[in-house]
Structure 1
C-alpha cells in the first residue's frame, strides 16, 4: 500500500505534502460498487485539495521551511475529518449497495449475516426495530438496513468497525486482516480528538488547554493509507458481486 509522498518544489524549496494516486477503478465495476467508488474518488480529491492549499500557504511564507503555524495544522485537522467522512460514506454505501447481491448466494457474507442476527437481534426479546423489519413488505431489505446500521452506526469509529464491515462483505486478504486494520487505529484516535475534543490537550478545561501537536507529514500519511485501504474493500467486493452475477443460477 502506498503512503503519502513528498516532492521538492524547485522554486520554493518546499517539501510538498501530497497524497499518492488511487489505483484504477475495479475492472468491470458493477453497479453495486460504482457509487462507493465515486465517493472514494470524491473524498480523495477533497483531501488532496486540502494538502494543496496547505502547501500553497506554506510556500507563501517568507521562509517556507519555517515553523508550522496553527493555521497550517488546521488544514491537516480538516484533512482528518474529510478522510473520516469519506470512510463513512464509502463503506456505508458499499454495504447498502452490495449486500443484497452478496446475500443472494451462500458464502462468507451470508454466514456473517446469519451469525450477526442470531447473536444480537434474534437473541432474547426482539427489539421493536427488529419486529418492524420482520413484518415489513420487504423484510429482507429491511433486515439488511438494520444490519448496516449495526455495522457502521453513525460513523466508523475504529479498526474493529472496519473488521465488522470486512466480515459482512465476506472479504479476506492480507490488507484487511486484523493486524493490518489495527495499524489504522491511530487515524481513528486522531479523528476522535479532532472532532470531539477540538484537539485540545485537556478538553475538560482543567489544566493545559493547548491544542495537540499535529505533524502534518504524519497526518498526510494516515489519511493517505486510510483512503488507499478503501480500495481494498471496494475492489474485492466488486469482484465477488461480478462472480455472483455470472453464476449460472444468478437471476437476470
Structure 2
C-alpha cells in the first residue's frame, strides 16, 4: 500500500444561488480551483514516480507547491476584484451597509483632497461606475496582501456581520499571504538581501495544500452572502420605486 501523502483540494460547495452579479466571480474561483488542483495532481504524480516515495521532497516538488501559492493568490485577487466591481453597482442602490461604507471611504479619503483621478471620475459620463472603479482600486491595491485587505473588502460588501468572515477567521489566512509575498517578491530566499545564506525556504507541501484550500473556500464565503445581499438590495429597490 502506498505511503504517499497526497496533496489535494477539497471540492467547492455548490454555486450560490444568485444573479448575474456573482457569475464572473464564481467563474474565476472555479477556474482557479481547477488550475491549482491540476498543479497538486502533477505534484502527486511526480512524487509517486520517485524510486523511494518516503525520501526527501525535492526542490522541484516544492516548486510545484510554490506555483500553487501563486496561482491561488492570483485567483483570489481576480475573484475579489470582480465580485466588488459586479456587486457594488447593485448594492449601492440602497442605503445599506455597503452604501454607508462607500460614503465613509470617499469622505475620509478621496473627497478631502481631490486627485486628478477623482476629478475625472466625478465628471465621467457614468460617474457612479467610475467612482466604483476607483473604490475597488483603493480596496485591493496592486494585490490582496492579507487580512486587512480582506477586512476592507468585507466591509465594502456590507458583510461585517457574517460569522464566516469574522476578524479571527480572516487573520487566520495571513500566513498564506505571507507565503505568497515570500514566493513572489523574495523568490523564497531565506535572505533576500543577498547577505549571508541565500537558501530556499522550506515549504511543507501538506501545509501549502491546506492553505490554498482554505483560501479558495474563503472566497466562496465572500460570494455566497454577497448573493444574498444583492437579492435583498434588489427587493428594497423595487419597494422604493
**Structure-1-length-normalised TM-score:** 0.92
- Please list, as runs of the form range in 1=range in 2, the aligned pairs for 1:25-104 lying within 5 A after superposition: 25-27=15-17, 29-104=18-93
Evaluate the alpha carbon distance shift between residue 239 and residue 62 of structure 1 in structure 2; reply closer, same or farther with a 3 A threshold. Answer: same
Structure 2 unpaired stretches of 5+: none
Q: How far 1:177 sits from its partner (Å)?
A: 1.1
- The question of 1:148 aligning with 2:136 is answered yes
Structure 1 residue 21 corresponds to structure 2 residue 6: no
Measure how far apart 1:244 and its partner are: 2.2
Higher normalized helix content (fraction of residues): 2
- Secondary structure of 2:7's counterpart equals strand
Residue by residue over 1:15-38, the C-alpha shift from the partner in whole angstroms, topping out at 9 and shown as x without a partner, is 2111111010002x2100000000
Which residue of structure 2 aligns with residue 239 of structure 1?
Answer: 228
CA contact (8 A) 2:93 2:237 kept: no
Query: Counterparts of 1:230 and 1:47 in 2: how far apart (Å)?
Result: 14
Q: Which position in structure 2 is the counterpart of 1:139?
A: 127
Which of 148, 155, 168 is the equivalent residue of 1:160?
148
Moved more, 131-140 or 89-98: 131-140
Aligned residue number for residue 116 of structure 2: 128
Gaps in structure 1 of 5+ consecutive residues: 1-9
Q: How does 1:154-233 map to 2 (within 5 A)?
A: 154-171=142-159, 172-233=161-222
Indicate conservation of the 8 Å contact 2:94/2:236, yes or no: no
State the SS of the aligned residue for 1:25.
Answer: coil
Where 2:56 maps in the other structure, the secondary structure is coil
1:106 pairs with 91, 95, 98, which one? 95
- Deviation, structure 1 residue 189: 0.4
Deviation string, structure 1 residues 145-189 (Cα, Å, up to 9, x no partner): 100000011210111000000000001222211111000000010
Cα distance between partner residues in 2 of 1:32 and 1:248:
16
Secondary structure of the structure 1 residue equivalent to 2:114: coil
Q: Is the 8 A contact 2:94 2:237 kept in 1?
A: no
Asked if the contact 1:244/1:250 (under 8 Å) is kept, the reply is no
Q: CA RMSD for the aligned pairs?
A: 1.3
* Whole-angstrom CA distance in 1 between matches of 2:102 and 2:237: 23
Report SS of the residue matched to 1:247.
helix
Aligned partner of residue 134 in structure 2, secondary structure: helix
1:251: how far off?
A: 8.9
* Count of aligned pairs between the two proteins: 240
Q: Give me the TM-score of the superposition, normalised by structure 2.
A: 0.96
Runs of 4+ in 1 over 3 A off after TM superposition: none
What SS does the corresponding residue of 2:189 show, helix, strand or coil? coil
